[in-house]
Amino acid sequence: MNSLAAIPYNTLVVAVAVAVVGFASGVVGCFGVLRRRALAGDAAAHATLAGVVAAFVVTGRRDLPTLLVGAFVAAMASLGCLVVIRRFTRTRDDAATALVLSVSFGIGIVLLSGLSARGIPGAGGLEQFLLGHTAALTATDAITLAVVSAAVVLVVWAGLKEATLVSFDPAFAAATGWPVAVIDYALVALVAAMVVVGLPAAGAVLVTALVVIPPVAARQWTDRVPTMLILAGVIGLVAAVGGVAASAAVPRLATGPTIVLVASGLFAVSFFCAPERGWFARRRGV
């Protein structure tokens, strides 16, 4: 209890908010990884910067909910462009993703630099969304992030059976009458939502790591989807708390990149030490 009391209030706020976001990102990211849609999340992530700047320009407000709503609109718009390019052109998935990612991120950088060049009041600090700005989170922001993250996890849990079926056997799901396209788009939208919610923690450049690394690490340990969801959530939570703790202990150490490095370390442990798929286990089986 005394050790908790010794932790600065702002650090506790950041730790709680980022921990909830890390857990939810790991859970939701499982279906992006299983459906091989991780790069779609990356395209959505790079579009969020343009949404943040546009939300500020349109509303003149800098509160976190307003900026995140703008980021979510931009993320969904980028995914819509991705669907259109895939459906109506001969462009391959990887090329379409690279196209949407680079163009949307370029738009965001141009808008951001334009605000800075014009010296528009209140525009300073928006560049922190590139790499995250956890130090600026307030208790209200933490509650907002926690509520959205919890709601996303509840949606995933409520539709777990349908999401699992579509992820592993979409042809059978369609044959049995399930709206595969609707479920698929809903899963992508949930990934986009967590990408947006993770912006304060990791920023537009690195936020995709929160929804990719924990599921990939969890996949090394299990073949069961519910177990994978829980493991990915725990790995995301541990990475988030570990990153916040490290950045709090070392002055001027950026929180977002540190979270990603901790998550990468957990993936490395999973890669080498998982009981069946781990490198050491495979070497023993040779």
Indicate if the pLDDT at residue 178 is higher than 90.
Answer: no
CB 230 within 8 A of CB 160: no
pLDDT value of position 5: 53
Q: Quick: pLDDT tens for 203-249.
A: 777 888 899 999 999 999 998 999 999 999 999 999 999 988 888 78
Q: What angle do CA 133, 108, 197 make, to 5 degrees?
A: 40
- Name the residue with higher pLDDT: 117 or 154: 154
6 — pLDDT class (breaks 50, 70, 90): low
CATH number of 2-285: 1.10.3470.10
pLDDT value of position 126: 77
pTM as predicted: 0.88
Count other C-beta atoms under 10 Å from residue 164's C-beta: 18
pLDDT value of position 89: 86
Indicate if the pLDDT at residue 120 is higher than 80.
Answer: no
Q: Which residues of 88-112 are buried (b: 16+ CB within 10 A; e: fewer)?
A: eeeeeeeebbebbbebbbebbbebb
The residue ranges of every structural domain in the chain are 2-285
Which residues, other chains included, contact 213 with Cβ-Cβ below 8 Å and sequence gap of 6+?
A: 235, 239, 260, 263, 264, 266, 267
For 31-35, 227-231, 234-238, 282-286, which range has the lowest pLDDT when averaged over its residues? Answer: 282-286
Smallest CA-to-CA distance from 82 within 182, 164, 189, 159 is with 189
122 — pLDDT class (breaks 50, 70, 90): low
pLDDT value of position 76: 93
Indicate if the pLDDT at residue 91 is higher than 90.
Answer: no
Q: Quick: pLDDT tens for 146-177.
A: 889 999 999 999 989 988 988 888 888 888 88
Mean of pLDDT over the chain: 86
Residue 234 CA neighbour count, 13 Å, CB half = 9
pLDDT value of position 129: 81
